[in-house]
């Protein structure tokens, strides 16, 4: 299935229907995996961006030392997330914003950790979203994905194929391939692991590559970048005299 055909308006409509029942339907099924992802994040420091924060089910699990920002494109889900922040006095939540994951309005290299839980099977343009996650993540930071990926084997595969034709109704693509989030420039997969229930969900941790020091820069022809004295004729002559 071409996921790009699943447009933003369809996403908004589906999750307007999901919002009143999300927490006690899909929410509880995915909760243990969600806690595992947040535990990974809590080991870090600094600013965290949660893309697809939804009703804010993960927000109470974040450690107090982190600065959390959540975004989602569903106004109905965000209303519940804001209510959760207020009711539970979650002071480490810096903001909850309506925003498209493919067009983030944050500055480059702003967050130490960027996490997207149960998002990639929903977004219309996965490549654009992965590019944006990388852009707003600091060099050396982490991008964490938690998602269901198409398995195709046994009973699970039968169910995935059966649900694939109902993506616009259920709000996610059961036949979404893991390869779609791999091999993006500047991201290196550190590790991945299957999670409960029945290994339905996969946690993936990517490292955002650091900027290379100037002396290690490599030209487009694959040659090492010239040293400063090689570009300056006077320094070059002086070096030759001293050698």
Phi and psi angles of residue 96, each rounded to the nearest 5 degrees, phi first: -125, 120
Q: Are residues 174 and 236 in the same domain?
A: no
In this predicted structure, what is the pLDDT of residue 1? 36
Q: Are residues 23 and 9 in the same domain?
A: yes
Q: Are residues 98 and 164 in the same domain?
A: yes
Q: Are residues 61 and 133 in the same domain?
A: yes
In this predicted structure, what is the pLDDT of residue 207? 98
94-152 residue pLDDT tens: 999 999 999 999 999 999 999 999 998 888 899 999 999 999 999 999 999 999 997 86
Of 76, 185, 167, nearest to 127 by C-alpha is 185
In this predicted structure, what is the pLDDT of residue 239? 47
Q: Are residues 124 and 66 in the same domain?
A: yes
Q: Are residues 102 and 201 in the same domain?
A: yes
**Which residues in the chain land under pLDDT 50?**
1-6, 166, 217-221, 223-225, 227-229, 231, 235, 238-239, 242-243
Q: Are residues 70 and 176 in the same domain?
A: yes
Task: Spell out the residues 6+ positions from residue 86 whose beta carbon is closer than 8 angstroms to its own.
Answer: none
Domain containing residue 238: 215-243
> Domain total for the chain?
2
Q: Are residues 101 and 146 in the same domain?
A: yes
Asked if residue 26 lies in contact with residue 163, where contact means CB atoms within 8 angstroms, the answer is: no
CA distance 58 to 87: 14
In this predicted structure, what is the pLDDT of residue 25? 84
Q: Are residues 37 and 125 in the same domain?
A: yes
What value, to the nearest 5°, has the Cα angle with vertex 98 and ends 126 and 200? 45
Alpha-carbon separation of residue 209 from 43, 51, 135, 234 (angstroms): 19, 20, 11, 36
Q: Are residues 58 and 151 in the same domain?
A: yes
Q: Are residues 132 and 225 in the same domain?
A: no
Q: Are residues 50 and 105 in the same domain?
A: yes
């Amino acid at each position: 299935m071409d996921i790009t055909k699943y447009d933003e308006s369809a996403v908004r409509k589906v999750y307007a229907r999901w919002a009143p029942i999300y927490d006690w339907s899909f929410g509880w099924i995915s909760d243990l995996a969600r806690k595992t992802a947040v535990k990974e994040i809590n080991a870090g420091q600094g600013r965290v961006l949660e893309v697809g924060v939804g009703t804010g089910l993960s927000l109470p699990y974040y450690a107090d030392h982190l600065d959390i920002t959540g975004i989602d494109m569903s106004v109905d889900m965000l209303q519940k997330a804001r209510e959760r922040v207020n009711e539970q006095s979650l002071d480490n939540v810096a903001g909850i914003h309506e925003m498209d994951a493919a067009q983030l309005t944050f500055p480059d290299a702003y967050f130490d950790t960027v996490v997207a839980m149960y998002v990639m099977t929903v977004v219309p343009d996965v490549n654009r979203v992965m590019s944006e996650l990388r852009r707003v993540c600091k060099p050396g930071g982490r991008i964490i994905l938690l998602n269901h990926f198409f398995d195709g084997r046994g009973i699970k595969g039968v169910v995935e194929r059966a649900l694939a034709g109902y993506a616009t109704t259920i709000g996610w693509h059961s036949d979404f391939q893991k390869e779609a989030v791999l091999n993006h420039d500047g991201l290196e997969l550190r590790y991945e692991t299957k999670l409960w229930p029945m290994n339905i969900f996969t946690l993936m941790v990517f490292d955002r590559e650091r900027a290379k020091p100037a002396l290690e820069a490599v030209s487009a022809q694959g040659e090492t970048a010239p040293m400063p004295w090689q570009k300056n004729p006077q320094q070059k002559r002086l070096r030759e005299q001293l050698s």
